[in-house]
């Protein structure tokens, strides 16, 4: 049927998923941003050639099974404790690349103390922070980063500031700490932003290996299941609603 | 508990139990200590910071932001095959229960020291043994146990660091040293263990093929996780844990007997209170009252057999604890209530003297009976 | 100016039919299968208009499941 089959030769290959992203089908919902970020992490580790010295710390939340998809060594941490786990892993193995991969509930609610103190000590780790403003794994409850007025299963009439407080801008908080060297906010909803996020992860990983301090890469993400919209619509909704509260760009970039 | 005569060249030092733990950790070649200050055990962290072992052995010492963080640092460090430890006291150890459950589930070696103080709640900074249940019955969630060592002397505080790690790595299990404020704060003579270097990366890789170290191309990823949603696999995991516990029950029961050969009555006590019981027993023997003492050194696994055996010979058992009656349950199960078994305990940080123990004994067994 | 010519290879069993590649493609090469589903029940993506492909890999960049391989040849001058 397709008469461009002749193009599909090895020498013409411009893109395929990285080897470290294995063939297991990911459990994420269709269109979930996690899959893109997983792929980028795998690509960067592969391109840097550091899989033999990379240790990932998986969170509790949707990404709890990250270790099933990226073929590197992993430790699965208790809920919120990934930065504490990473602290010890990196300090006891100072030549390793150590990163945590955490969602907003894990990082900015139950694990706030561990996150802030690890960053404040300037631990030489990378924190990859998936912010979709909702608890995906447990069925769409309010997260610390849920927007005002946003409907979740525990804020069925919208998040009310008087009841639930304000969306927590923890990345801005982390950027204030002298222990962080690189704090950036990205997204993965277009080809261009995907490329920028990949560069950000690469920079963060290089910082961690070089021992420059804590690097934080927030990825403003969608949870189309939790948000109850199609993946494409979720991307639009994210740009319209999440970006004003969580504007993309570098918050801190120390050379 | 009587010190054996020492060889002339041995270096005898005078120090607190808490300090002995710190010195022993550096000498054993521990890779990392992560802790949070709490009375009455803060000297462990303080001594380590003073010793600066990162300059000598390369040991990492870190004051964490909480006990929650500290135990998860232990979890992380242990995942990489390193010998890591923490210490705390009762309220702090309560905060560590989640992490301990994960460490047990991850089958990770680690040493956790609890220098017990009185509870519940914030309680008191004075000594207590009220965390016996928490330590021996699995204080966190899930079906798990770990080895619990109960030191009675500063010497044992030092020695159990090495013993604890040896057992932890042998069985891939956390080990708890369940001390109390008395033995933590008390100064006593101690002979420190010989210093040895930390294990090399190569040695760790050989001893701990499961360790999360970064994946070389020739092997599959090492993943340390305690999550298993497949119920059949999860049951398998649990069965494996139980097999390890059975093995530990068979091999690692430790206790000390004193004056049991001709005993007509028995006392059972662990940790520092056992020393007070021993003094009471010696006083009683001077008056012709034949009492023996069993001091469990491992609280889990519990020395059931010896207590069961002795319960067939004696007229009664007094369990003496600095709590309202916790170990007595294990003593009663072991002795199957063959003889009257009573408890004597002081609470709230009060430590009874030998006469009080003896009075309690006479009150339970000798008066109007 | 002559355009580059490209081709995509989609792992249709891995695809979850999220539609993000369809939206991302600048030259409308891709569609979701209107009726056919894969073994997991998803209407997977396919190249409904393969001639238009320029091999830009935009689809592969946004694919959350790493399903897409992209090939390209530059135009001969």
- Looking at the structure, tell me whether residues B150 and B299 fall in a common domain: no
How many Cβ pairs within 8 Å bridge chains A and C?
108
- What residues make up the domain containing A248? 27-253
Q: Could you report the per-residue pLDDT of B90-102, keeping only the tens digit for each?
A: 999 999 999 999 9
Nearest CA in chain A to B34: A88
Cβ of residue C54 closer than 8 Å to a chain A Cβ: no
Whether residue C19 lies within 8 A of chain A, CB to CB, comes out as yes
For chain A, 255 residues long, give each residue's pLDDT as a single digit of tens.
Answer: 456 889 999 999 999 999 999 999 999 999 999 999 999 999 999 999 999 999 999 999 999 999 999 999 999 999 999 999 999 999 999 999 999 999 999 999 999 999 999 999 999 999 999 999 999 999 999 999 999 999 999 999 999 999 999 999 999 999 999 999 999 999 999 999 999 999 999 999 999 999 999 999 999 999 999 999 999 999 999 999 999 999 999 999 987
A113–B69 CB contact, under 8 Å:
yes
For chain C, which residues make up each domain, given as ranges?
5-73
Contacts of A114 in chain B (CB under 8 A): 65, 68-69, 72
Measure C1 CA to nearest chain A CA, in Å.
Answer: 20
Question: What DSSP element (H or E) covers C8?
Answer: strand C5-10
C74 reaches A (C-beta below 8 A): no
Supply the CATH number for residue B25's domain.
3.40.50.970
Residue B249 covered by a domain: no
Residue B299 lies in domain: 256-365
Q: Which of C74, C67, C30, C56 is nearest to A11 (CA)?
A: C74
Whether B228 maps to a domain, the answer reads no
Residue B18 sits in the same domain as residue B107? yes
Q: Assess if residue A155 is contained within a domain.
A: yes
CB-based touch C/B (3+ pairs, under 8 A): no
**C and A make contact (3+ CB pairs below 8 Å):** yes
- Which mean pLDDT values do the consecutive 10-residue runs of chain B (369 residues) have? 60 95 98 97 98 97 98 98 98 98 98 96 95 96 97 98 98 98 96 95 96 96 97 97 98 98 98 98 96 98 98 98 98 97 96 97 85
Report chain A residues whose CB lies below 8 A from the CB of B215.
51-52, 54, 71-73
Please indicate, yes or no, if residue B292 is contained in any of the structural domains.
yes
Chain A contact set for B70 (CB, 8 A): 84
Whether A102 is covered by a domain: the verdict is yes
CB within 8 A of A225, min separation 6: which ones?
A29, A32, A136, A140
Can you give the CATH number for the domain in which A242 is found? Answer: 3.40.50.970
Considering only CB atoms, which chain A residues are within 8 Å of B68? 81, 84, 113-114
Query: Domains in chain A: how many in total?
Result: 1
Q: Which residues of C touch A13 (CB under 8 A)?
A: 69-71
- Single out the residue in B161, B184, B202 at which a domain terminates: B202
The whole-angstrom distance between C57's CA and the closest CA on chain A is: 7
In this structure, the answer to whether residues B70 and B185 fall within a common structural domain is yes
Residue B211 domain-assigned? no
What is the Cα–Cα distance from A215 to A122, expressed in whole angstroms? Answer: 9
CA distance A126 to chain B (A): 15
ipTM metric = 0.96
> What is the tally of structural domains in chain B?
2
Residue C75: DSSP 8-state? P
Beta-carbon count within 10 A of B305 CB = 11
- pTM of this structure: 0.96
Instruction: Suggest the residue from B82, B84, B211, B214 to mutate for an interface test with chain A (most A CBs closer than 10 A).
Output: B214
User: For C5-73, CATH number?
Assistant: 3.30.70.20
Answer yes or no: do A7 and C17 touch at CB < 8 A.
no
C4 part of contact set with chain A, CB < 8 Å? no
Residue B262 lies in a domain: yes
Say whether residue A24 is in contact with chain C using an 8 A CB cutoff.
no
Question: Do B113 and B262 fall within a single domain?
Answer: no
- Do residues B193 and B330 share a domain? no
């Amino acid at each position: 049927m397709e008469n461009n089959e002749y193009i599909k030769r090895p020498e013409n290959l411009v893109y395929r998923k990285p080897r470290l992203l294995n063939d297991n089908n990911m459990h994420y919902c269709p269109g979930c941003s996690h899959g893109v970020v997983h792929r980028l992490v795998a690509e960067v580790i592969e391109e840097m050639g550091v899989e033999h010295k990379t240790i990932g710390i998986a969170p509790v939340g949707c990404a709890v099974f990250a270790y099933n998809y990226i073929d590197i060594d992993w430790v699965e941490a208790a809920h919120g404790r990934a930065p504490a786990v990473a602290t010890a892993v990196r300090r006891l193995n100072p030549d390793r690349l150590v990163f945590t991969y955490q969602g907003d509930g894990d990082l900015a609610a139950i694990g706030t103390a561990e996150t802030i103190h690890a960053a404040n000590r300037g631990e030489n780790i990378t924190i990859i922070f998936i912010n979709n403003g909702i608890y995906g794994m447990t069925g769409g409850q309010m997260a610390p980063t849920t927007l005002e007025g946003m409907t979740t299963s525990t804020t069925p009439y919208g998040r009310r500031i008087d009841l639930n407080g304000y969306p927590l801008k923890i990345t801005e908080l982390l950027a204030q700490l002298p222990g962080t060297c690189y704090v950036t906010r990205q997204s993965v909803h277009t080809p261009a932003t995907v490329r920028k996020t990949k560069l950000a992860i690469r920079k963060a990983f290089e910082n961690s290996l070089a021992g420059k301090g804590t690097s934080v890469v927030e990825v403003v993400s969608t949870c189309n299941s939790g948000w109850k919209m199609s993946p494409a619509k979720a991307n639009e909704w994210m740009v319209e609603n999440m970006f004003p509260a969580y504007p993309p760009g570098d918050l801190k970039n120390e050379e | 508990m009587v010190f054996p005569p020492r060889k002339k060249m041995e270096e005898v030092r005078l120090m607190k139990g808490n300090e002995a733990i710190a010195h022993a950790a550096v000498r054993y070649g521990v890779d990392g200590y992560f802790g949070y200050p709490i009375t009455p055990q803060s000297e462990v962290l303080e001594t380590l910071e003073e010793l600066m072992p990162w300059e000598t052995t390369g040991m990492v010492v870190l004051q964490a932001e909480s006990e929650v963080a500290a135990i998860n640092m232990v979890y992380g460090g242990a995942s990489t095959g390193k010998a890591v430890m923490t210490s705390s006291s009762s309220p702090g150890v309560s905060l560590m229960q989640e992490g301990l459950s994960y460490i047990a589930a991850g089958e990770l070696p680690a040493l956790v020291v609890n220098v017990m103080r009185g509870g519940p709640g914030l309680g008191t900074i004075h000594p207590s043994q009220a965390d016996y249940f928490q330590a021996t019955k699995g204080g966190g969630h899930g079906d798990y146990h770990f080895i619990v060592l109960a030191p009675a002397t500063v010497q044992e505080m030092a020695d159990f660091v090495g013993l604890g790690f040896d057992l932890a790595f042998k069985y891939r299990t956390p080990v708890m040293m369940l001390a109390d404020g008395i033995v933590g704060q008390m100064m006593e003579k101690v002979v420190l263990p010989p210093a040895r270097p930390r294990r090399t990366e190569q040695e760790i890789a050989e001893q701990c093929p499961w360790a999360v170290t970064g994946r070389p191309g020739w092997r599959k990823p090492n993943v340390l996780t305690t999550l298993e949603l497949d119920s059949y696999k999860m049951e398998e995991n649990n069965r494996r844990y139980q097999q390890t516990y059975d093995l530990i029950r068979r091999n690692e029961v430790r206790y000390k007997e004193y004056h049991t050969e001709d005993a007509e009555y028995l006392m059972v006590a662990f940790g520092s209170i056992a020393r007070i019981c021993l003094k009471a027993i010696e006083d009683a023997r001077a008056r012709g009252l034949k009492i023996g003492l069993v001091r469990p050194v491992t609280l889990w696994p519990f020395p059931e057999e010896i207590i069961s055996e002795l319960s067939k010979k004696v007229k009664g058992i007094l369990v003496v604890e600095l709590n309202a009656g916790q170990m007595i349950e294990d003593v009663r199960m072991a002795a199957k209530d063959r003889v009257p078994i009573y408890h004597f305990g002081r609470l709230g940080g009060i430590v009874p003297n030998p006469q009080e123990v003896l009075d309690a004994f006479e009150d339970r067994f000798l008066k109007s009976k | 100016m002559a355009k580059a010519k490209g081709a995509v290879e989609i792992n249709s069993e891995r695809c979850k039919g999220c539609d993000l590649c369809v939206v991302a493609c600048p030259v409308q090469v891709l569609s979701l299968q209107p009726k056919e589903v894969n073994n997991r029940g998803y209407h997977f993506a396919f190249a409904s208009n393969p001639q238009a492909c320029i091999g830009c890999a935009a689809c592969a960049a946004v694919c959350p499941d790493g399903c897409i391989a992209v090939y390209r040849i530059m135009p001969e001058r």
